[in-house]
Amino acid sequence: MWTGTLYALAAGLMWGLVFISPLLLPEYPAALQSVGRYLAFGLIALPLAWMDRHALRRLGRADWLAALKLAAVGNLLYYLCLASAIQLAGAPLPTMIIGTLPVVIAISANLRDARRDGHLPWRWLAPSLVLIAAGIACVNRAELAALDHPAPAELWRYARGALLACGAVACWTWYPLRNADWLRSHPDRQPHTWATAQGIATLPLALAGYLLVWVLLRAGGSPFAMPFGPHPWRFIGLMAAIGLFASWLGTLCWNAASQRLPTALAGQLIVFETLAALAYAFLLRGHAPSALTLTGIALLVAGVAWATRIRPRPVELPVTSE
């Protein structure tokens, strides 16, 4: 139990890094950060693919097409929305919105897969949803208060950040459901092989995206210095660090935690990512969160913990007579 919890904590600490990269590279377009991160991850996946080449050869055209779709939505589009949200609205509110993912995924699965996976009674989920909504409202109030009489343009910028964070949640709600569909329909394939396949599928998408961003910046007359921007070593270092630690090593730590912990407990420990991201954000700001922000964080954690303790109930299928 203790080893599994430490693995989950390590995963959360590394996953939290993706929330501060947009703050450390404010001059860099979010699209460039997204393709840069996954270009690094794709390069890291190459030696893994070589070691797993025999299993990868068993994947057919439809499998690679599915991997491309998952990589495009769950990797590139998700991080494009998240990085843009953080650059527009700051880190705390988007981090809180992303922190609702365990519950949003559970609700989506409840609507879509109740016959297969069981049904979560809505009356049991209601307290969790109320706690989460109250937590996000508290942090939103604190962040708006920190803007100090914002102009309409600032409010619109903040609102766009919140909407993009919701877009990131939508991407990463779709991704695990579709990913689980593929794994369930291919029980003879190893999960690590499928993860490596997605990493390889990400590489050409990220490379094409990098070239597209370069062309668009040049066509728009942007003074941004491509290929690596005004701080090349900081950009390359951050992309490599996030690709290695967040995309690869963090996932390995989470898998190790999942092997050692009950599913109900592992689900609750995803909150380590949210807490790590918030801690990093306030460290960068150089001050502690306000009492209202701390209250919001506590409410979010309580809401997610409540929801992950609810166990699905089997759905009784109607009896048909011949």
Residue 38, burial from CB neighbour count under 10 angstroms (0-12, 13-18, 19+) = buried
Distance from the first to the final alpha carbon of the chain: 50
> Higher pLDDT residue, 254 or 131?
131
In which band, very low, low, confident or very high, does the pLDDT at 179 lie, cut at 50, 70 and 90? confident
Asked if residue 11 belongs to a domain, the reply is: yes
Residue 45, burial from CB neighbour count under 10 angstroms (0-12, 13-18, 19+) = buried
Asked if residue 317 belongs to a domain, the reply is: no
Range of the domain at 12: 2-308
Asked if residue 313 belongs to a domain, the reply is: no
Q: How many CA atoms lie within 13 A of 173 on its CB side?
A: 22
What's the angle, vertex CA 65, arms to CA 62 and CA 66, rounded to 5? 90
So what's the pLDDT on residue 267? 63
- Note the pLDDT tens digit of each residue in 195-219: 888 889 999 999 999 999 999 999 9
d(CA 321, CA 307): 38
So what's the pLDDT on residue 147? 79
In which band, very low, low, confident or very high, does the pLDDT at 114 lie, cut at 50, 70 and 90? low
CA 137 to chain centre: 21
In which band, very low, low, confident or very high, does the pLDDT at 113 lie, cut at 50, 70 and 90? low
Please tell me the pTM assigned to this model.
0.87
Instruction: Say if CB 86 and CB 19 are below 8 A apart.
Output: yes
Averaged pLDDT for residues 96-122: 76
Asked if residue 107 belongs to a domain, the reply is: yes
Count of structural domains, the chain: 1
- Note the pLDDT tens digit of each residue in 16-56: 999 999 999 999 999 999 999 999 999 988 998 999 899 99
Asked if residue 322 belongs to a domain, the reply is: no
Asked if residue 55 belongs to a domain, the reply is: yes
Asked if residue 185 belongs to a domain, the reply is: yes
